[in-house]
Amino acid sequence: MRIAILGTRGVPASYGGFETFAEHLSTRLVARGHDVTVYGRAHYISPRQIEYHGVRLKVLPTIRHKYFDTVIHTFLSAIHAVPARYDAALICNAANALFAPILRLTGTPVVVNVDGLEHKRKKWNWLGRNYYRLAERLATFLPNEIVTDARVIQEYYLARYNTSSTMIAYGAEVERRPEPSVRQWRVEPNRYVLYVSRLEPENNAHLVIEAFKKVRTAHKLLIVGDAPYAHDYIEELRARARGDKRIIFTGFVFGKDYRMLQQNAYCYVHATEVGGTHPALLEAMGYGNCVLTLAAPENVEVVGEAGLSYADEADLTDQLQRVLRDGSLVTAYRARAQERIKKYYDWEHVVDRYEDLFSRMMGRPPAPTIDYSLEDKWAHEKATIREPYAK
């Protein structure tokens, strides 16, 4: 099949979740013999780079602006893709659903991965939030199919818009390898708490910092991430951390260095309250971390009984103190986390599901070898998980 992926910054990934997803999906589809093109942004991917691990790259310009970067680039990508007449197109982000008809009118079937509930993000003003609400509705009828990456999001679209979707989560790799090179960040292996996210208010880095400041430990807290349009918030975070030399900001870290930080942490804290399945949380589990997650429904759905949840800042302080005192508890949750990733978040199963979806959109019969029982087991397990906001 000839497949186009639109709506991300491009590959290789060096920013966020959609880019990581696009890299894994595209390279694995190419390894299976498909012809895949990923559209990228000129300020993110070098225009001279035309190929990545067999994936064709199309780099187009956009307007570097908080509100227009994504939609302008995806509009130009859709126009560019028309003459290519791809067999299928995947558009990432509900904000870009508006452009699905451009491709459909020329015969290319389109699926939109809607991501999470972007209208809840604090970074958007009134116009941004209402555009996302409109985009959600458009995503229910403009593309051929929509994909949700969490049961919570799938149920939201069904309840609010009476629209069914295909639930396909993200994947993660399973590995843990000791590596002393983490010392470049002034930490020792297994002697730091790791937090990874875009540094935006709804990802609650401020909560993590305040909770950690009250923990009695010599372990460090590594804050990994940045954000292009959140200067004031990041300055606030640095001000909160001032005076506590245990708290270290690294900025964005990707590739080998990122994997190294994940695989050598003592534990991992996830604090995001908006969105669907968060790739960084899956990666933390796959890399063998004891995970402490804010008890938002989509986060609890991911970790199940393979991690610890907390309700607020005080609860996180208590949970951190608990795991820092009990190494056997950490060891047990590390093993549980990796087993859960193997069972529910294997990348090859994710690619199977997308490959099958693309085939069905083209009118081909579904692949007979895909094990859909995983989703049935997951749905049953989700129904038995404890109340999401319980300690």
pLDDT digits (tens, 9 = 90+) for 232-251: 999 999 999 999 999 999 99
351 vs 121 pLDDT, higher one: 351
| Fold exhibited by the domain 2-171+346-377 | Rossmann fold (3.40.50)
Residue 385: pLDDT over 50: no
Residue 372: pLDDT over 60: no
> Using CB atoms within 10 A of its CB, is residue 71 exposed (0-12), middle (13-18) or buried (19+)?
buried
pLDDT score recorded for residue 368? 57
Rounded CA-CA distance 244/221 in Å is 10
What CATH architecture is 180-343? 3-Layer(aba) Sandwich (3.40)
Residues 6+ apart with CB under 8 A from 275: 115, 116, 117, 298
pLDDT score recorded for residue 384? 38
* Chain centre distance of CA 198: 11
pLDDT score recorded for residue 255? 85
pTM for this one? 0.87
DSSP per-residue letters across 350-368:
HHHHHHHHHHHHTTPPPPT
Closest CA to 288 of 345, 342, 327, 334: 334
Rounded CA-CA distance 109/158 in Å is 22
> Using CB atoms within 10 A of its CB, is residue 135 exposed (0-12), middle (13-18) or buried (19+)?
buried
pLDDT score recorded for residue 116? 77
Split at pLDDT 50, 70, 90, the class of 9 is very high
Residues 245-274 have a mean pLDDT of 94
pLDDT score recorded for residue 115? 85
Return the H-helix or E-strand segment holding 92. strand 88-92
Residue 375: pLDDT over 70: no
2-171+346-377 matches 180-343 in fold: yes
Residue 147: pLDDT over 60: yes
pLDDT score recorded for residue 230? 85
pLDDT digits (tens, 9 = 90+) for 213-224: 999 999 999 999
pLDDT score recorded for residue 389? 28
Planar angle of CA 278, 95, 42, nearest 5 degrees = 85
Portion of the chain with pLDDT greater than 70, in percent = 92
pLDDT digits (tens, 9 = 90+) for 89-143: 999 999 999 999 999 999 999 999 998 777 777 777 788 889 889 999 999 999 9
Closest CA to 53 of 74, 88, 87, 29: 29
Return the DSSP state at 172: B
Split at pLDDT 50, 70, 90, the class of 377 is low
pLDDT score recorded for residue 388? 32
Q: Give the alpha-carbon dihedral of 203, 208, 211, 216, to 10 degrees.
A: 170
DSSP per-residue letters across 325-348:
H-HHHHHHHHHHHHHHHHHH-BHH
Residue 345: pLDDT over 80: yes
Return the DSSP state at 163: -
pLDDT score recorded for residue 117? 79
SS3 16: coil
Spell out the domain ranges in the chain: 2-171+346-377, 180-343
Q: Which of 35-39, 87-91, 282-286, 382-386 has the lowest mean pLDDT?
A: 382-386
Closest CA to 86 of 141, 6, 8, 152: 6
Residue 380: pLDDT over 50: no
Query: Phi and psi at residue 209, in whole multiples of 5°?
Result: -60, -50
Mean pLDDT score across all residues of the chain: 90
- What tokens were used for 304? 């199940």
Residues 363-379 have a mean pLDDT of 60
